[in-house]
Structure 1
């Protein structure tokens, strides 16, 4: 059996079973694949070094081998904080207004990708399958090819791929995409992002694309395909049945004092539509004054990328909006928004999801959004809550039984909240059952197995 070499920006070393509640579903799924294929997980340690040496820190935890490198401060500033998170991230989420084009960002991005290629090379054996993850490492496949790697190499992009008319605003966009065509398999979250990529290849590069996603370009044949990711259903639902989850559910229900609970759980990021969500909730309060005192919005928003100015701005904006809304609508025994800037273990979150009457998931643009799926998986089958979901989340194509909304329309979101709160149990159960079927069947294990099988099949075909 071929080994699997997983390469990502950061490495999530497997944790002992007692700490599994704090480990993401993706890390759990990749760890399982690495155990099955005797693989190695390679990436940045998250640590800074004064001088890059390429030294590999090899460890083995819970049956998985990891290999990490440290980066210089300039690398982190230009590659991670710069090109990855101030250029590619906003552009790929359609926020061209926030996209920064600095030449030294691009230089740092290519330099670090070259360092990844140089460092991982000694680990790759002739029959290995190489699986690269996400926008941090788009040119890595081409750099491995330049070093003589002939293995099957796949790339999975966890975020959206923007329309051609937006993507061409990126300096040297042709260079970036032609480097991506050195992969053998390129995976996207949804058919929409796949079609955007194929459109670019045809219109800007003159490549030939086929209905099955095959791309022909300058003598190479590349397979592009949608592989929608899911949650680790078994792991998550086990955590949802734990004492930690039950205690969290009881705690939130007790503190709400018979009020209806709306929950949002999002990393603090402008792509999540949090400012628009708060405006929509205020619109609901204004449109439904009889509900004053009877509903609570719990927004959990752990901070991220705090060195990037746009992330500092969104935090300040949300704090201002929270103060304004609470000041305008609160009473002595009721605060309409509970805004929390911290993260929680997954099992505890499952308890909060279960306690909530509405899951409010309103990204302006999202590759997939697993919070929507976690919310559904945590519900009580006999008395489930209602999922309100942005039509611009990748998960929307898999979850048509949610209440679909346009997150830019405060009026539409307000009406959806009213409808969800008034929805009879029979309709809630019918929607839940359809959503749960999708969440259960299209989980992260299926995603991982489908991608690896496709990559392996291509290897055998060659």
Structure 2
């Protein structure tokens, strides 16, 4: 095959493939780039006073990385603005939090043009280009305008919003029309693909063709479902590593014969963290006999702290966790351990394995790989139970989890009680079915399926 060019907002190719903290997605894409002798292009994370388009090239463990600095205005409008204050909340059905400012949209368009102008000279005629996520939706259009005729694919790592919500976005048609310059559009679930198709049919008077192509705006694009997964063997190795085992032993000792419930989520309003704590509070209220015998470990690394809404949710969560602890704690027991810090993958594997219950309850999520990591970390002879929001993309595949409505504190309470009292035979049966799903959707399978579909797609030709 010709070279593969991966494009994303931030380049996450690890400098050390053996690093326990490297994510499965970064490892899988890095492996593909080494195999196909490709390169990974994106923003460096750094700013310069005036944009020059100067490329920084480096080798990261056999992966060629090309990055470019942006101006502070680009970061404010394109990244902090349109990507994180407009598209992110909208794509997660939080229209009430979406900020529609003209400067954000202008910065988004300008920065994508800049990315295209810097990337275009690096592209060879037979390269295959894979663009990732909502930050770079217009990139294929901008590359086509520069004469690029290569196959270009796009994968959305978030949900796609319902049509009735997407139309609240100014210039929504222009955004969707730009997607028809790609050759392949990938979504996590059939639901997200169908929502995209429905928008095209109603708002663009387009159609879905029998072969799966979607036609509108005088163009056709192939749509597909590519459920992402984890690096299963890599995660099992992390679980069984010295640090993974040490972390498990430490957490098991720390539990002091209590049942641990674990939640691991980036600090974000889409993760349903407030609703989760309220559901756990309801469980403590409904089951007084469980007090002192169970605790919730909530690991919540801080992200996007420069955005006001993230500062607000951090304060609310800290207040809520403090209130629940104040109401229920005893001299030798605290019902919630709330941590704002990041752990390595091998440490997380040990934490997951020690947890009797995995609580994965986002209000809206593209896939949520924590659900799959929790399952992979379990002891096959004594596995824990996964409680999963029906609004996570993973719910489409992981029906053997206890599926819940995260907006209902009573439903969360009942699910926690059911998980903690579930007989071993049923826990093992559910775990085996879920583990098969995890293996069948390994991140390498996802990667290879998408790349194969993209290489089979006909070139747009401009």
Fold match (TM-score > 0.5) = yes
Give the CA deviation at 1:119: 0.5
Give the CA deviation at 1:219: 3.7
What SS does the aligned partner of 2:358 have? strand
Corresponding residue for residue 9 of structure 2: 9
Is the CA contact (8 Å cut-off) linking 2:360 and 2:388 kept in structure 1?
yes
Deviation digits for residues 258-291 of structure 1, max 9, x if unmatched?
Answer: 0000000000000000000000000000000111
User: Normalising to structure 2: TM-score of the pair?
Assistant: 0.98
Instruction: Go from structure 1 to structure 2 and tell me whether the alpha carbon gap of 1:460 and 1:91 turns closer, same or farther (over 3 Å shift).
Output: closer
Q: Is 1:386 paired with 2:404?
A: no
The alignment yields a C-alpha RMSD, in angstroms, of: 1.1
Q: Distance in 2 between matches of 1:248 and 1:378?
A: 12
Deviation digits for residues 164-193 of structure 1, max 9, x if unmatched?
Answer: 000000000000000111101000010000
- Taking the TM superposition and a 5 Å limit, the aligned residue runs for 1:207-356 are 207-356=206-355
- Taking the TM superposition and a 5 Å limit, the aligned residue runs for 1:396-415 are 396-415=395-414
Corresponding residue for residue 147 of structure 2: 148
What SS does the aligned partner of 2:152 have? strand
Q: Distance in 2 between matches of 1:426 and 1:309?
A: 47
- Taking the TM superposition and a 5 Å limit, the aligned residue runs for 1:367-446 are 367-446=366-445
- Taking the TM superposition and a 5 Å limit, the aligned residue runs for 1:27-66 are 27-66=26-65
Give the CA deviation at 1:206: 1.1
Unmatched tracts of structure 1, length 5 or more = none
Corresponding residue for residue 183 of structure 2: 184
Corresponding residue for residue 362 of structure 1: 361
What SS does the aligned partner of 2:181 have? coil
Deviation digits for residues 71-98 of structure 1, max 9, x if unmatched?
Answer: 1111100000000000000000000010
What SS does the aligned partner of 2:386 have? strand
Deviation digits for residues 2-48 of structure 1, max 9, x if unmatched?
Answer: 110110000013232442x1111110010011011110100001011
Aligned residues: 461
Is the CA contact (8 Å cut-off) linking 2:17 and 2:27 kept in structure 1?
no
Corresponding residue for residue 168 of structure 2: 169
Q: Distance in 1 between matches of 2:14 and 2:449?
A: 22
Q: Distance in 2 between matches of 1:104 and 1:96?
A: 18
Q: Distance in 2 between matches of 1:221 and 1:432?
A: 41
Q: Distance in 2 between matches of 1:338 and 1:85?
A: 29
Give the CA deviation at 1:418: 0.5
Give the CA deviation at 1:211: 4.9
User: Normalising to structure 1: TM-score of the pair?
Assistant: 0.98
What SS does the aligned partner of 2:457 have? helix
Is the CA contact (8 Å cut-off) linking 1:15 and 1:23 kept in structure 2?
no
Q: Is 1:197 paired with 2:212?
A: no
Unmatched tracts of structure 2, length 5 or more = none
Q: Distance in 2 between matches of 1:200 and 1:164?
A: 5
Q: Distance in 2 between matches of 1:354 and 1:373?
A: 12
Is the CA contact (8 Å cut-off) linking 2:187 and 2:227 kept in structure 1?
yes
Q: Distance in 1 between matches of 2:326 and 2:211?
A: 55
Give the CA deviation at 1:213: 2.8
Q: Distance in 1 between matches of 2:172 and 2:421?
A: 49
Q: Distance in 1 between matches of 2:432 and 2:10?
A: 36
Q: Distance in 2 between matches of 1:258 and 1:211?
A: 57
Q: Distance in 1 between matches of 2:372 and 2:361?
A: 13
Q: Distance in 2 between matches of 1:248 and 1:212?
A: 50
Deviation digits for residues 80-138 of structure 1, max 9, x if unmatched?
Answer: 00000000000000000101100000000011100100000011000000100000000
Give the CA deviation at 1:441: 1.4
Deviation digits for residues 135-171 of structure 1, max 9, x if unmatched?
Answer: 0000000000011000000000000000100000000
Is the CA contact (8 Å cut-off) linking 2:183 and 2:460 kept in structure 1?
no
Corresponding residue for residue 109 of structure 1: 108
Deviation digits for residues 332-390 of structure 1, max 9, x if unmatched?
Answer: 10000000000100000000000000000000000000000000000000000000000
What SS does the aligned partner of 2:5 have? strand
Corresponding residue for residue 97 of structure 1: 96
Is the CA contact (8 Å cut-off) linking 1:198 and 1:213 kept in structure 2?
no
Is the CA contact (8 Å cut-off) linking 2:149 and 2:460 kept in structure 1?
no
